[in-house]
Structure 1
Amino acid sequence: MSIRFIESCKLPTPWGMFTMHGFADDGLDKEHVVLTMGDLHSDEPLLARVHSECLTGDALFSLRCDCGPQLQAAMHKVALAGRGAIFYLRQEGRGIGLLNKIRAYHLQDCGADTVEANERLGFGADMRDYSILKPMLEHLGVSRLNLLTNNPRKVKALQAMGIEVVERIPHRTGRNPHNAQYLETKRGKLGHLFDDWEDDHPHHT
């Protein structure tokens, strides 16, 4: 695994002061960051979110997905807890990259769902590699998590690398008329857990 820690710095945000840790992925020539707050070395499980980069949702406020609201909600929840980590992985478009994601969006404009679009472009439904988390977690000295996710695959991936996921905490936010089919596809084809969504309103981001 070619993940190298580079440096840490303070990152003031609307939700509070985080520490940002930078990591270089030499094998894929990518850069990843982890935002942390509070004492990481307590015996208590660490509240954590594994978030894959989504330029359109995180930075451009796209309503085609729920990524931007999920990132903001995770930062808010960590700040409220006073302790936690957000792993921001540069795996745009579930691993296909930004330009291929634009191609996939074009296919979705023509009627394909998010999984069909990826497959028509020759990609798997989800190309993300969570093994890159292991050296980051080891650097931070973290081995027990309360994981903010609706995706059982993330839980299984972390467990497979020896990380104890003490609790999976539902993380549902950002539903709107533009992403309703996208969310339904995530549930139906990718196994995301949204069944009790309506019980969670109102959502805070």
Structure 2
Amino acid sequence: MTRKPREAVRSLPVPVPHTGVERVVSVPLPTVYGLSTAVGYLDHERGEEHMALVFGPPGTHDVLTRLHSECLTGDVFGSQHCECGEQLDSALRAVVAAGHGVVVYLRGHEGRGIGLVAKLRAMALQADGLDTVDANLALGLPVDARDYGAAAGILHDLGVRSVRLLSNNLRKREALVRYGIPVSEQVPLLTPPCESNIAYLRAKRQRLGHHLPHLDAYTDG
């Protein structure tokens, strides 16, 4: 008797289950960008608090979405060492212009997950000539310790099943897909560099794989 051939093993990645995030509160939040709904979450796995700003009925598929990592120096104080504050502003404006979408603000992501004081120490090493990757490594810290399981859980709770992701970071896309949130499009957030952050942005492109093609137009000096 001829045995039936075994079916080929599927090569598609198996989504990782969403980590446990709990919706705690939802409240209207008027902003300078427009009226939003602020939804507060507790990440039971990591003990972090996160917030989603929802503009309009976000819908379920191809939702314009920004996963924004907390950056006190950039978001609050307008640091020009990075482009975080400008990216947050651009993302909020893009979502409002689209008429609906979600901005997820992820606490505990300061300095790509190493924390505020450690980030400042890494910045001091960058001022002495190290790039953003080697500065973290010199401190004995991971280059990028961020996890996006909570973000995927938040999107799932909001009914978002696929996104158009506002990001230059290909690893964010890969992380969302790994957590079961398809990314139909990656929408660039290309902010003009300045003298204070051009080296940092180039390091992000060259060593972290960020999609920053606009840097080609800027030369040193």
- TM-score normalised over the length of structure 2: 0.85
2:81 corresponds to 1:70:
no
The alpha-carbon distance between structure 1 residues 179 and 22, as it changes in their structure 2 partners (threshold 3 A), is same
CA contact (8 A) 2:68 2:104 kept: yes
| Structure 2 counterpart SS, 1:85 | strand
Q: Which residue of 1 aligns with 2:78?
A: 61
- TM-score normalised over the length of structure 1: 0.92
Matched letter for residue 110 of structure 1: D
**Distance in 1 (alpha carbons) for counterparts of 2:36 and 2:212:** 29
Residue 168 of structure 2, aligned match among 125, 128, 150: 150
2:156 corresponds to 1:138:
yes
2:113 corresponds to 1:95:
yes
**Distance in 2 (alpha carbons) for counterparts of 1:185 and 1:87:** 25
Give 1:108 shift. Answer: 1.2
Higher-Rg structure is 2
Matched letter for residue 193 of structure 1: H
Q: Which residue of 2 aligns with 1:203?
A: none
Give 1:40 shift. Answer: 2.2
Q: Which residue of 1 aligns with 2:211?
A: 193
The alpha-carbon distance between structure 1 residues 198 and 16, as it changes in their structure 2 partners (threshold 3 A), is farther
| Structure 2 counterpart SS, 1:22 | strand
**Distance in 1 (alpha carbons) for counterparts of 2:207 and 2:124:** 20
Identity %: 43
Q: Which residue of 2 aligns with 1:15?
A: 33
Q: Which residue of 2 aligns with 1:164?
A: 182
Q: For residues 19-58 of structure 1, what are the structure 2 equivalents within 5 Å?
A: 19-42=37-60, 44-58=61-75
The alpha-carbon distance between structure 1 residues 19 and 148, as it changes in their structure 2 partners (threshold 3 A), is same
CA contact (8 A) 1:69 1:174 kept: no
Unpaired segments ≥5 residues, structure 1: 200-205
**Distance in 2 (alpha carbons) for counterparts of 1:8 and 1:172:** 31
Which piece of structure 1 moves more, 189-198 or 49-58? Answer: 189-198
Cα offsets for 1:78-117 (capped at 9, x unmatched): 1111100011111100000001111111111211111111
The alpha-carbon distance between structure 1 residues 27 and 97, as it changes in their structure 2 partners (threshold 3 A), is same
CA contact (8 A) 2:57 2:100 kept: yes
Matched letter for residue 45 of structure 1: D
How many residues of Structure 1 are paired with residues of Structure 2 in the alignment?
Answer: 198
Unpaired segments ≥5 residues, structure 2: 1-18
Residue 84 of structure 1, aligned match among 80, 97, 101: 101
The alpha-carbon distance between structure 1 residues 72 and 198, as it changes in their structure 2 partners (threshold 3 A), is farther
**Distance in 2 (alpha carbons) for counterparts of 1:23 and 1:7:** 7
- Flag as ranges the 4+ runs of structure 1 deviating above 2 A: 26-29, 196-199
Give 1:176 shift. Answer: 1.1
Give 1:147 shift. Answer: 0.7
| Structure 1 counterpart SS, 2:213 | coil
Which piece of structure 1 moves more, 75-84 or 157-166? Answer: 157-166
The alpha-carbon distance between structure 1 residues 15 and 165, as it changes in their structure 2 partners (threshold 3 A), is same
